[in-house]
Each structure stands twice: as C-alpha cells, then as structure tokens.
C-alpha cells in the first residue's frame, strides 16, 4: 500500500502530543484539499475508548488511525532517514519521541 504513495508528512512530537489525533486532523485537511487518498497513521495503541469493542463497529471511525508500528513501518528507520535523532528510551529520564505519518497521493 505504501508504495502507491509518492509524498508523505512525518509528524514529530513528545510525550504530550497525541499523534493519532494530529495525524487524523492533518489527513482530513489534506483530503478536503482534494487528495482523496490521504491516509494517516498515529503512534501507539488507540486510546479513544476505555475498552475497544472488537466485536462491534468502531465508535470513533473518523478519529481512529492505525499506528505506524502496527502496520509494519519501521518507525526508527523512518525517523532517522528523515533527519530525526531517535534512540531507544532506556529509562524515565530519556526524552521520548512520538511520530505520526500522513501519506499523500
């Protein structure tokens, strides 16, 4: 799927940034600008519901986005290839980095 896109926006944030919400908002703006294939990825697990109803429909389909890592994207490699210095967080004193991605075509 990723190979069918030619452009992307990589979004960087810290532990206070909600990458999933940001990616969904950026994706929406790009979609409304005429790029109907825009597709956003957040980071980490979905936190929109306290408990996910895996047997039913998503309660937040317009906000929920898969994470980059859940789709097989190597986040460390992607970040590093785009100039971000990212290392494994070894303890609570290390600064965490979070990334979102919006594919554009």
Give CA–CA dist 41/91, Å, rounded: 26
Cβ neighbours of 60 (radius 10 Å): 11
Quote the number of domains for the chain: 1
In a 3-state reduction of DSSP, which class is residue 15? Answer: coil
Q: Which residues pair with 100 in a beta bridge?
A: 11
Check residue 67 and give its pLDDT: 94
pLDDT of 89 above 90: no
Q: What is the mean pLDDT of residues 8-14?
A: 95
DSSP states of 32-80: HTT-TT-EEEBSSS--SSSS--TTS--S-TTT---BTGGGT--HHHHHH
Local confidence band at 23 (pLDDT 50, 70, 90 cut-offs): very high
Least confident stretch, 10-19, 35-44, 51-60, 89-98: 89-98
pLDDT tens for 34-83 read 999 999 999 988 888 989 888 989 999 889 999 999 999 999 999 999 99
In the numeric block, the tokens 């600064």 are attached to 95
What is the pTM for the complete model shown? 0.88
Domain residues for 83? Answer: 2-104
């Amino acid at each position: 799927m990723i190979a069918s896109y030619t452009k992307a926006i990589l979004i960087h944030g810290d532990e206070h940034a909600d990458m999933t919400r940001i990616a969904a908002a950026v994706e929406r703006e790009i979609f409304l600008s005429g790029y109907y294939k825009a597709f956003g990825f957040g980071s980490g697990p979905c936190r929109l519901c306290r408990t996910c109803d895996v047997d039913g429909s998503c309660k937040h389909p317009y906000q929920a986005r898969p994470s980059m890592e859940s789709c097989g994207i190597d986040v460390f490699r992607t970040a590093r290839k785009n100039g971000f210095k990212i290392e494994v967080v070894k303890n609570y004193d290390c600064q965490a980095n979070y990334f979102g991605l919006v594919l554009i075509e």
